[in-house]
Amino acid sequence: MSVVLLLLGGLTGAPEKAAPSAADCYGCHAEKSFSRKGPGGRKIPLFVNAKQLKKSVHSELSCDSCHAGITAGNHTDGEQRGKTASLYKACRGCHEAGKTVHGRMVSGAGAPRCRTCHGTHGILRVKSTQPGCLSCHGRALSKRLPNGKSLSLRIDEAALDRTSHQKLKCVSCHAGFTNRVHRMIKGVNRIARHRSTDVSCLACHAKVTKLMGEGVHQRLKGDRAQRRPSCSDCHRAHAPHAHVVSGRQSIARCRQCHSKVYDQYAQSVHGAAVLKSGSRDVPACVDCHRAHDIRNPGSKEYRSRIPELCGNCHADRKRMKKYNLSPNVVQSYLDDFHGVTLQFYRKEKRSVRKIAVCVDCHGIHDIQSTRGKNKVAVKKRLLTRCRSCHPKASAAFPDAWVSHWIPSATRTPLVYWINLFYMIIIPLMVFGLGLQVLLHFWRYAVKR
Amino acid sequence: MAEQSTTVPDSFLRHHWLRRVEHWVGALLFMGLAVTGLAQRFHEAEWSGWVISAMGGIDHTRLVHRWTGLTFTLMFMVHLAVAVVGVLWRRWQPSMLISRQDFTDAVQNLRYYLRLAEHPARCGRYDYRAKFEYWGVVLGSILMIATGFVLWFPVWFFQSFAFLPGESIPAAKTVHSNEAMLALSVVVIWHIYNSVFSPEVFPIDRCMFTGRISRERMLHEHPLEYERLTGEPAVHLADPDPVRVAESAPDDAL
């Protein structure tokens, strides 16, 4: 190859000051297989498609309009090659970078070059090309935020293709966006305006709209409403499996506003398991509070459903077996005095008194294991809780609650033996008296 | 025959009107307690929901149950007081006390039912069945009243009996609900049969309404009481089986 080049150089004689005509260049560059070896033996094509160039917006320009200063004889050495490589400088001769988004995007180190998007010899009029969003956002595009952080604006196209939204267009979510609108949006709300809003999600996800409408966050007003979580906070917007929200992701979002609760939760038996070992068996925020129709946890309705809420896991035999926990805790609560009262209050759709539920003894976000050293703390809390409704309760009073145990000869002998006594005596009595009745009837009515 | 019918009345007064009032007040209270209590015990059953909503909710049901229980307690205490005063001051016969004869009577009646004996047991004012039920009610009431008050006032209970373990409350609940089932099954099977469905009284024993019992029934069911009241041998005049009556005469010595 280099032999050919040298030969060409030899034919044209000494370097000339005059610019070469297009025909001069095509002498070599019209050859389809014309190429040179780059670093590491890489093949760099040097073919220029004349037909394409004719159709391009630059068809009127001569070769040296862009490849300035190159003559037939001087462009084979290293120095001149550098000129072809820094072509964007040539573009700048006519096209100023400006202070637009586009201008900033193509300036600076590591920025994409003009030709990366627009091509070279086949360059077309921008208006006729309709570049897609990904022609910019598919690249390493980022924005420096007022707080100094850098916000990546790059969208991974490959990942996007694996989402459930793969058939949607960008504007399906980023509604009303065009290149023009894009340039027009300015000011503080710039980022907010660029983001897809919940409204775009709700256009298709109508059921969730209804649920969201019932949630407590919808009632927030003013500044606080601005901090309301949006769909994409938990459901990652451009990533696959957006419907699956990991516990940690939603917890992190809740933490942004509910940091005190988070601190308690992180120390609890549930929080520690999800944050340290990523367990999926323990509840994250949304498992108890729900994701969309988040109800006021201070309401009586919410409170009255707590046993079932805990029961979602604690009555699940399979899951409880894994941790060697009793799956009967909820049923034993519901069978006892407070549980019965609670169930009737629910049927009556009213709640006159605050009936003790799971969280009153076990705690809420700071819930701890009832084993080992925690056992004492739980007992202590129990007495405090008893006294909030039974103010004169003595120290033995909490023991009236037999701690979710099904009566057994070892743990609750009194209850166990009394039960057993009646389990025997009642059938015996019924059988004995029934037999007497039958015999009496038979003797007096049938066989007089 | 003609002589006897002039000296011996056609019927006997068996229950003073105060005892009858007591019986029906007790029966009403018992039924009230049973309905409100069962609805609480079988709280998961559908009918329990109907009862409790008809009573105006669980709180109201409990209130009614407790005050009915309190009324029952008062009635029970009045009954005990009347019995003690009657026996000690008015020299009433303590005819409800259980004697050895009640056991032999029970065996004799079983033998009669199985046709191993020719005649049933000869009983006094109260037969062994009545005594069994009476003492069942007395002991059951004591248990129900005691445990009922423990469940009504658990805090007071622990303050008064600090030495008792916490398990006393669930134990009291177990006794209360099981004893109730026992009492209820005895009443439903035994008492209702004996006073309603038994061929001897069907369609109903009117004694607890009128307080009176016919001479015929007196001879049949309480021959010893008949003899005590009339001073005459309890020979059933219209008995279809005179041999049985004749044979039964020597048993009087027992």
A128-143, pLDDT tens digit by residue? 665 677 877 887 777 7
- Does residue A399 fall inside a structural domain? no
Place of tokens 């006729």: A128
Identify whether residues A41 and A75 lie together within a single domain. Answer: yes
Cβ distance of B181 and A426 shorter than 8 Å: yes
Q: Is residue A329 part of a domain?
A: no
Q: Pick from A221, A239, A257: which residue ends a domain?
A: A239
CA distance B113 to chain A (A): 5
Of A239, A255, A283, the one marking the end of a domain is A239
Q: Is position A276 within any domain?
A: no
The region of weakest confidence among A192-196, A224-228, A443-447 is A192-196
Whether residues A40 and A75 share a domain: the answer is yes
Q: Which residue has the higher pLDDT, A64 or B86?
A: B86
Rounded to whole angstroms, how far apart are CA atoms B27 and A317? 46
Question: Is residue A229 situated within a structural domain?
Answer: yes
* Cβ-defined contact of B53 to A444 (cutoff 8 Å): no
Instruction: Record the tokens describing residue A32, joined without a space.
Output: 């389809």
Residue A17 in contact with residue A81, Cβ under 8 Å? no
Instruction: Inform me whether the C-beta atom of residue B127 falls under 8 Å from chain A C-beta atoms.
Output: no
Q: Which residue of A has its CA nearest to B115?
A: A443
* Shortest Cα distance, chain A CAs vs residue B130, angstroms: 13
pLDDT at A326 over 70: yes
Q: Do A165 and A227 sit in the same domain of this protein?
A: yes
CA distance B95 to chain A (A): 23
Report the number of distinct structural domains present in chain A.
3
pLDDT digits (tens, 9 = 90+) for A246-274: 777 788 889 988 999 999 999 999 999 88
How much is the pLDDT for B251? 36
pLDDT of residue A222: 81
**pLDDT tens digit sequence for B28-62:** 999 999 999 999 999 989 999 999 999 988 999 99
Dihedral sign for Cα atoms in the order A170, A171, A175, A176: positive
Same domain, A163 and A97: no
- The answer to whether the CB atoms of B58 and A390 lie below 8 A apart is no
**Secondary structure, 3-state, B144-157:** HHHHHHHHHCHHHH
Q: Do B158 and A418 count as a contact with CB atoms less than 8 A apart?
A: no
Q: What is the pLDDT of residue B28?
A: 97
In chain A, the residue whose alpha carbon lies closest to the alpha carbon of B133 is A433
In one letter, which amino acid is B145? I
Measured in angstroms, the CA of B52 and the nearest CA of chain A are apart by 8
> With an 8 Å Cβ cutoff, is B199 touching chain A?
yes
Specify the range with the lowest mean pLDDT, choosing from A394-403, B11-20, B40-49.
A394-403
DSSP B212-227: EEEHHHHHHH-HHHHH
Q: Please, which contacts does B42-47 make with residues 24 or more away whose CB atoms are closer than 8 Å?
A: B43/A340, B43/A343, B43/A344
Is residue A89 domain-shared with residue A159, that is, in the same domain?
Answer: no
Task: Count other C-beta atoms under 10 Å from residue A286's C-beta.
Answer: 17
Closest CA to A145 of A110, A109, A194: A194
Distance in Å, alpha carbon of B114 to nearest chain A alpha carbon: 7
pTM of the predicted model, to two decimals? 0.71
What residues of chain B lie within 8 A of the CB of A419, using their CB? 174, 178
The pair of three-digit structure tokens given for residue B2, joined into one six-digit string? 């003609």
Q: Domain check: are A167 and A235 in the same one?
A: yes
Query: Does residue A121 sit in the same domain as residue A143?
Result: no
- Whether the per-residue pLDDT at B240 is higher than 50: the answer is no
Both A35 and A109 in a single domain?
A: yes
* Among A352, A412, A360, A358, residue whose Cα is nearest residue A386: A360
Beta-strand relationship, B212-214 and B11-13: antiparallel
Question: Is residue B107 less than 8 Å (CB to CB) from chain A?
Answer: no
Decide which of B22 and B251 is more confident: B22
Task: Identify all chain B residues contacting A337, using CB atoms and an 8 Å cutoff.
Answer: 173
For A358-385, what is the mean pLDDT? 82
Q: Using CA atoms, how far apart are residues B198 and A425, in angstroms rounded to an integer?
A: 25
User: If pLDDT is split at 50, 70 and 90, which confidence band does A389 have?
Assistant: confident
The pLDDT tens digits of the residues spanning B163-209 come to 888 889 999 999 999 999 999 999 999 999 999 999 888 888 899 99
| B167/A352 touch (CB, cutoff 8 Å), yes or no | no
Are residues A191 and A161 both part of a single domain? yes
Tell if the CB–CB gap between A394 and B158 is shorter than 8 Å.
yes
Q: What is the pLDDT of residue A274?
A: 87
Q: How many CB pairs under 8 A join A and B?
A: 116
- The reply to whether B113 touches chain A by the CB within 8 Å rule is yes
Secondary structure (DSSP) of A331-353: HHHHHSHHHHHHHHHHHTT--SS
Partner B, chain A 416-435, Cβ-Cβ below 8 Å: 418-419, 422, 425-426, 429-430, 433-434
**Whether A35 and A86 share a structural domain:** yes
Question: Does residue A299 sit within a domain?
Answer: no
Does a structural domain hold residue A204? Answer: yes
Hey, which bits of A84-134 come out as E strands?
none
- Cβ distance B155 to A414 less than 8 Å, yes or no, reads no
Closest CA in chain B for residue A425? B182
Beta bridge partners of B213: B12
Q: How far is B162 from chain A (nearest CA, A)?
A: 8
Give A162's pLDDT tier (boundaries 50, 70, 90): confident
Residue B240, Cβ density class (10 Å: 0-12 exposed, 13-18 middle, ≥19 buried): exposed
Q: Tell me, yes or no, if B2 comes closer than 8 A to chain A by beta carbon.
A: no
Distance (Å, whole) CA B145 – CA A349 = 32
The complex scores an ipTM of 0.86
In angstroms, the CA A269 to CA A370 distance is: 10
**Contact in structure between B150 and B168 (CB atoms under 8 Å):** yes
| Residue in the structure block whose two tokens are 């025997």 | A424
Cβ-Cβ contacts under 8 Å for A184 (sequence gap 6 or more):
none
- On whether both A98 and A136 belong to a single domain, the answer is no
Check whether residue A34 and residue A97 sit in a common domain: yes
Distance from CA of B235 to the nearest CA of A (A): 19
- The domain of A208 spans 132-239
Spell out which residues of chain A touch residue B198, defining contact as CB-CB under 8 Å: 440-441, 444
The two tokens of residue B61 are 């049901």
Kindly tell me if the per-residue pLDDT of B242 is higher than 50. Answer: no
CB contact under 8 A, B171 and A394: no
Verify whether the Cβ–Cβ distance A399 to B166 is below 8 Å. yes
B210 and A CB contact within 8 Å: no
* Percent of chain A predicted with pLDDT > 90: 16
Cβ atoms A13, A30 nearer than 8 A: no
Dmax over CA atoms of chain A, in Å, equals: 149
If we measure between CA atoms, which residue out of A355, A360, A415, A405 comes closest to residue A382? A360
Contacts of A429 in chain B (CB under 8 A): 182, 185-186
Q: Is residue A315 domain-resident?
A: no
Q: CB burial class (10 A; 0-12, 13-18, 19+) of residue A338? A: middle
Give mean pLDDT, residues B59-72.
96
CA distance B31 to chain A (A): 19
End of a domain among A197, A213, A239?
A239
Asked if the structure places residue A335 within a domain, the reply is no
